[in-house]
Amino acid sequence: MEGLGDKEDQQTNDIYIVTQKARTLGRLVLEAKKINKNGIINMDSLLKPENFDLVVKCAKRMSHERDVLSLGRFLGNLLGHIIQVKIGQSFRDNNEVKIKEASGFQKLYESEWNNRVNSVCLKKHNILNRKQLQTIPITEDLKTFRQFITDNMKSAKDSLNTDRTFENWNRLSKLTLCRLILFNKRRRAEVIELKVDDYEKRPKWNEDTNQEIMLSLSKTDQILSRRMDMMISGGKSRKNVDAYVLFPPDCKQSADLMMATRAEAGIRHSNPYLFARHYSDTPLSGNLEMRELAESFPGLKYPERINSRLLRKYTATVSQLQP
């Protein structure tokens, strides 16, 4: 938990990653109890050299036999961390027996886990991937969907200006969020994590930009730089990666209106997120709102392909095509 840092520096889903890891380790212990019904099984007793084969058998049953192939590799990563935890705690307790147990288990883990679990999962995963049809959104759908969102954003802004209720605010918030994800084609977490304070204090890029840099841009790029705004969000897992989120003019107008009407719409003052939920301190999901919009619009041929993962895949694919 200490690795998550201060609460204000955490991402929304960070705490759920911790609980997911705890549940996965709990499932491993339960699986071991099904096989070894007479033994006293807990996480500490599993991390012994004599129980390594039992752990491997459990991991295979949980991943290979149930076709949850990513779980085998995920378990391997968790075990690597848990071994270090046991070694650290044993040193603190000056328990030579447990230090020897953890070190012996670690040697078996480092020498055998990849060959017995990870490589099998990866091989099976690659075979299944080759058999699966790889799909991306079609350009026609993206253009149609963009027009659908921008048209609805105009009416949502008019409605919110007329009647500053939460329903109107929430509708504009969902549309603006989906428009940003569709426009930037970034991970949805990088957009939903944008905060009110960061939006208000964002740099004035047009004023602060070095004029020599502006002069080096093409005419088109200069127009785009003046036309759009930009915020910097934390990237995946905040591993020293910045995510640049561009705001086209319609999104900037919507965000300004949302900021001006937050209090009247009933959004909590304690909710720090730009795309806030009602009666909560958390942001919108991103995936759910995108799915709802796509399914509500009958003009799409493949609405199931409109999500942030496939949008990134679309960008990666189309950018490699020769003009």
pLDDT, tens only, 190-225: 899 899 998 988 877 666 666 777 777 788 877 777
Measured distance CA(108)–CA(104) in Å, rounded: 7
DSSP string for 36-56: SSSS---HHHHSSGGGHHHHH
Nearest one of 2, 79, 5 to 239, comparing CA atoms: 5
Q: 36 CB contacts (<8 Å, ≥6 apart)?
A: 54
pLDDT of residue 8: 57
- Average pLDDT, integer, range 152-175: 95
Q: What is the pLDDT of residue 120?
A: 84
Residue 239 DSSP code: S
**Of 110, 50, 64, whose CA–CA distance to 84 is shortest?**
110
In the predicted structure, residue 170 carries a pLDDT above the cut 90? yes
pLDDT category, 7, cuts 50, 70, 90? low
| The predicted structure's pLDDT at residue 11 | 63
In angstroms, the Cα distances linking 68 to 3, 72, 107, 127, 151 are: 28, 8, 26, 14, 42
CA atoms within 13 A on the CB side of 142: 18
Encoded amino acid at 160, one letter: L
- Listed in sequence order, the residues at least 6 apart from 3 whose beta carbon sits closer than 8 Å to its beta carbon are none
DSSP code at position 283: B
The more confidently predicted of residues 35 and 147 is 147
Residue 205 neighbours by CB under 8 Å, 6+ apart:
225, 229, 230
**Quick check: 241 pLDDT over 90?**
no
Round to whole Å and give the CA distance between 52 and 64.
Answer: 17
Positive or negative: CA dihedral 59, 64, 68, 74: positive
Residue 14: pLDDT over 70? no
| Distance of alpha carbon 249 from alpha carbon 229, whole angstroms | 8
Residues 6+ apart with CB under 8 A from 70: 63, 121, 125
Mean pLDDT computed over 21-26: 90
Q: Is the pLDDT of residue 108 over 90?
A: yes
Whole-angstrom distance, CA of residue 230 vs CA of residue 223: 14
Question: For the whole model, what pTM was predicted?
Answer: 0.78
Which pLDDT does position 3 carry in this prediction? 54
CA distances 106 to 96, 133, 204, 318, Å, are 15, 39, 52, 45
- pLDDT tens-digit profile of 292-309? 999 999 889 999 999 999
Q: What is the pLDDT of residue 128?
A: 80
Structural domains present in the chain:
2-131 (no CATH), 139-318 (1.10.443)
User: 271: which DSSP letter?
Assistant: -
Confidence of residue 92 (pLDDT cuts 50, 70, 90): very high
- The C-alpha atoms of residue 25 and residue 108 are separated, in whole angstroms, by 19
